[in-house]
Structures are given as C-alpha cells and as structure tokens.
Chains A and B, each alone.
Chain A
C-alpha cells in the first residue's frame, strides 16, 4: 500500500512558533491531502496539493510537495493554542490504480501557552 507516514509522531512547541510536520509515501500519487482532528472529533480537511504542484498556501498553512522524494510537509506559522490537534496526511492514488485514499497515523501537535 502507499500509506503516508507522518513525522514526528508528536510535537510540542510554544505559542507563536512555527510547526512543521512531514509526510512520506511510497508510490505515485494523484494528490496528497492534509487533515486536522481535534480531540474527540471527526477529521477536517485542510488542504489538497496535486502531484503537479510544488507549494500551496491557505491562511497560516503552507504545504509543499516533492514527488521526487515522495514527501510533503505542512507548515503552520505563528501557532495558536487552537492549533493543538492531530494532523494527518492522506495520499490519493494515481488514476487507474485500484487503491483507495490511505491515511497516515498522524502527528500530535501540542501548542504550549
């Protein structure tokens, strides 16, 4: 399977600092997606980056994709307490493959006051 694997598994930073999470995957993709999950809630989609894109921004979020290294990173700038959550990457397979979107195990982000 082409499971995305996030790194690190857990991250604690001070409020106001930037947080960077990484995702690596194994096979070719159509796109890669990042999701956030607050404790006890369902996942919420944050951003989708297609295989022909290298960088994408959404508010304080910046996502990069390097298909040659099969990796992506999610940067959250100027972190806030409300950013405390788990973050998951999910890889969507290239067309015509019989694979489904697969989620990684997530990075737990804790913003310290």
Chain B
C-alpha cells in the first residue's frame, strides 16, 4: 500500500499562474484534508472533505478550491497564485474526522 501520495513534490509558479495539487489515498478512508505549513505557524487546515461528495472550508480557504473527485482522490487548486501562497502543502486522510490522520510527503510550492 502506498498510503497517501501527493504530486508534484516541488513547484515554482509565477504570480497569477494556476495549478492543481493532486492527492490520492489507498486506505479506503472517508475523510481527506489539505493543510499548509508555514514556519512558526504550525499546520493550518485549508479544506476538508468528510466523505465523497462533500467539502468544507477550513481555517484558511481563501484563494483555494478543492474537488473530491472520488473516494480516493482530493485535489487542491490555486486559480491565481500569490506570493502569500508560498508554503509546504500536505494532504492527509483518516477513516473519519475523529481518527488518526495519515499524511502525504508534502508539496513545496514557491510563488514568485
């Protein structure tokens, strides 16, 4: 089992460009999450999907959109990237919202 996979691992964008971060899990988990991690800020929840077909805003959703494509996949889209979105992005999944989360390796995004 691969667990939680994320692509790409690294990305550099120019201000205004768009991109989609991909995430997939093979553990048959119901809940999936997108976080960003900035120095000194810990993990902040961007969007959350409790189950296939549902999504919910987290603490910092502005500038992002998500799609829960199916039970396995949860993508994060930046429509018009800004330098403030330079961060490390983590996808995670869990059986349900109260259980332990399994994290992907992260995507390091730089917006110039």
Q: Enumerate chain A interface residues (CB-CB to B < 8 A).
A: 1, 30-31, 33, 35, 40-45, 48, 88, 90, 92-93, 95, 100-106
Q: What residues on B are CB-neighbors of A42 within 8 Å?
A: 4, 90, 92, 103-106
Top 4 A-B residue pairs of the complex, sorted by shortest distance between their CB atoms:
A42-B103, A105-B42, A45-B100, A103-B43
Whether the pair B98, A30 counts as a contact (CB closer than 8 A) is yes
Q: If A88-B43, A100-B58, A105-B42 touch, does A44 touch B98 (CB 8 Å cutoff)?
A: no
Q: Which secondary structure dominates where chain A touches chain B?
A: strand
In the bound complex, how far is the Cα of B6 from the Cα of A38, in angstroms? 18
Q: Are B42 and A104 in contact (CB under 8 A)?
A: yes
A46 CB to closest chain B CB, in angstroms?
A: 9
**A31 contacts which of B42, B43, B98 (Cβ < 8 Å)?**
B98
Set of chain B residues within 8 Å of A31, measured between Cβ atoms: 98
Contact with A33, one of B41, B90, B100 (Cβ below 8 angstroms): B100
- Enumerate chain A residues within 8 angstroms of B104, measured Cβ to Cβ: 42
Asked if A100 contacts B106 (CB within 8 A), the reply is: no
Bound: A31/B45 CA distance, A: 18
Residue picked from A31, A42, A95, A106, most chain B C-beta under 10 Å: A42
Interface residues of B in 24-52 (CB under 8 A from A): 33, 35, 40-43, 45, 48
Closest to A5 in B: B42
